[in-house]
Amino acid sequence: MTNRRTIIHSAHIVTVDAADSEFSDGHLIIDDDTIVAVGPGMPSGQWSSHPHTTTIDAHGHLITPGLINTHHHLYQWLTRGYAQDAILFDWLTSLYPLWSRIDAELVEVGALGAMAVAARSGCSTVGDHHYVFPSGAGDILGGIVSAATQLGVRLHATRGSMDLGRSAGGLPPDFAVETIDAILAASDLAIDRYHDAGPGSMTQIALAPCSPFSVTADLLRESAALGRARGVRLHTHGSETVEEDEFCRSTFGKTPTQYLEDLGWLGADVWMAHCVHLDEHAIGRFAATGTSVAHCPSSNARLAAGIAPVPAMLDAGVTVGLGVDGAASNESGQLGSEIRMAVLMNRLGSGATRMTGRTALRMATMGGARTLGRDSEIGSLEVGKLADVAVWKVDGVEHAGILDPVAALTLGAQPPLALLLVNGETVVQDARLTRVDEERVARAVARESASLRLR
């Protein structure tokens, strides 16, 4: 028995289904947490007969699937504004000492702030890569899960790791790394505690050794084996900078892709962040193995990492999602604005016809869902899928009169978010979070950011 029904009508609807269906004056109907109808025009009167029906006239609005962030470092919300003019390696070196002083309480506050901003930018699902676990810091992943639960957003958290300290040839300082045994035990425990593989899951766990320059080959190999034995996905950074490429060639005699593939890190259960410096051979290997990519255009620009060859990846059949990356290398933290950035960056790199706004929107929705292995449930507005829905106001002063409502989101200023539903539940309404006090979150972030600086 359906407990509640929501009817949204008179909006421009972009379904992002396989046929790229759009309805310039369409309707969307939700029963509890599931989409039950989507189509052109007004819904038939029979849909209004349910005793608990909410009807929303969305004239002047654009409706899309909820956006899906495939790569974040939520704890970095507390360390924005540092090393503003540094490339990746210098930026990391300056921030590792600060990050080594985080604990579960700090991380929960940072995650709450970061995910609050992501939700206000239309993001219904957050993929987080956490890899700093100081000794005695408490249940850091538990803090991140708690923050997502408070906000009501869907979370794909990772138990990341680093075991290659500076004294052994890695980039992170020795005090910021763990032993392989400790990492594998903690990874197993994280899956037991927090991973939900069932339908409609709100929390899933992946295993995520940080990068080729901060983890050993043994950790990569054993993490992949553990992840596959437990049935969870795998995530890492790959081919982010020329410095990383040089590190892999000089240390291992291989490109990052060759090195990672030899250790079992290409496959349909793997997604990698950045992939800025993939050559034609590497793109072919990603396509052949089903390995997905989290494209983070703003962070890549902020750290001068380069322009990822996204059009070439898509042409080859590689699945590409969008990510904001760490808030310390993308102080905005808004996934909605990454759609526009993806269009502009990839046109700059490949030409004006090589990246359309709708292609970037697909990366932010179905591309993200496929990257996280959730495309049967989220990522498009189709009957039977979960009701993760973003409703954007496009008739205000920023966008009134625009020829194409989709261009308001993909080329214009980010539209105000009128409504964000996750599992049919309201998370944002009229550009305000509904489940947490925004001012309280802001005060907590300011307090804990200052506390971390003092440490």
374-387 pLDDT, tens digit each: 999 999 999 999 99
Amino acid 321: pLDDT: 98
Per-position b or e across 71-88, b if 16+ CB within 10 A of its CB: bbbbbbbbbbeebeebeb
Give the confidence band of 455 by pLDDT, cuts at 50, 70, 90. Answer: confident
Give the confidence band of 2 by pLDDT, cuts at 50, 70, 90. Answer: confident
Total length of the chain:
455
345-369 pLDDT, tens digit each: 999 999 999 999 999 999 999 999 9
Whether the per-residue pLDDT at 452 is higher than 80: the answer is yes
Give the confidence band of 112 by pLDDT, cuts at 50, 70, 90. Answer: very high
Chain Cα centroid distance, residue 400? 30
- Give mean pLDDT, residues 115-126: 98
Contact assessment for residue 9 and residue 58, using Cβ atoms and an 8 Å cutoff = yes
Query: Which residue type does 348 have?
Result: L
Give the confidence band of 422 by pLDDT, cuts at 50, 70, 90. Answer: very high
Taking alpha carbons only, the member of 104, 27, 14 closest to residue 67 is: 14
Distances (CA, A) of 441 to 120, 154, 376, 430, 433: 13, 19, 33, 18, 11
Chain Cα centroid distance, residue 205? 14
Q: What gap in Å lies between CA 331 and CA 326, rounded to an integer? A: 8
Contact assessment for residue 292 and residue 312, using Cβ atoms and an 8 Å cutoff = no
- Give mean pLDDT, residues 235-244: 96
Q: What gap in Å lies between CA 268 and CA 289, rounded to an integer? A: 6
Tokens 């009817």, residue located:
7
Q: What gap in Å lies between CA 302 and CA 284, rounded to an integer? A: 28
Chain Cα centroid distance, residue 390? 16
Burial bucket for residue 128 (CB in 10 Å: 0-12, 13-18, 19+): buried
Whether the per-residue pLDDT at 45 is higher than 90: the answer is no
Amino acid 102: pLDDT: 97
Amino acid 50: pLDDT: 84
Q: At 43, phi and psi to the nearest 5? A: -70, 155
323-333 pLDDT, tens digit each: 999 999 999 99
Domains of the chain: 5-65+383-433 (2.30.40.10), 67-371 (3.20.20.140)
- Give mean pLDDT, residues 272-300: 98
Whether the per-residue pLDDT at 1 is higher than 80: the answer is no
Beta bridge partners of 274: 238
Say how many C-beta atoms besides its own lie within 10 A of residue 352's C-beta: 9
Amino acid 116: pLDDT: 98
Q: What gap in Å lies between CA 259 and CA 236, rounded to an integer? A: 13
Q: What gap in Å lies between CA 112 and CA 286, rounded to an integer? A: 33
The vertex-437 CA angle with 378 and 55, nearest 5°, equals 50
Q: What gap in Å lies between CA 302 and CA 309, rounded to an integer? A: 17
Taking alpha carbons only, the member of 54, 28, 57, 88 closest to residue 393 is: 57
Query: Percentage of the chain surpassing pLDDT 90?
Result: 97
* CA-atom Rg of the chain in angstroms: 21
407-417 pLDDT, tens digit each: 999 999 999 99
Whether the per-residue pLDDT at 48 is higher than 90: the answer is no
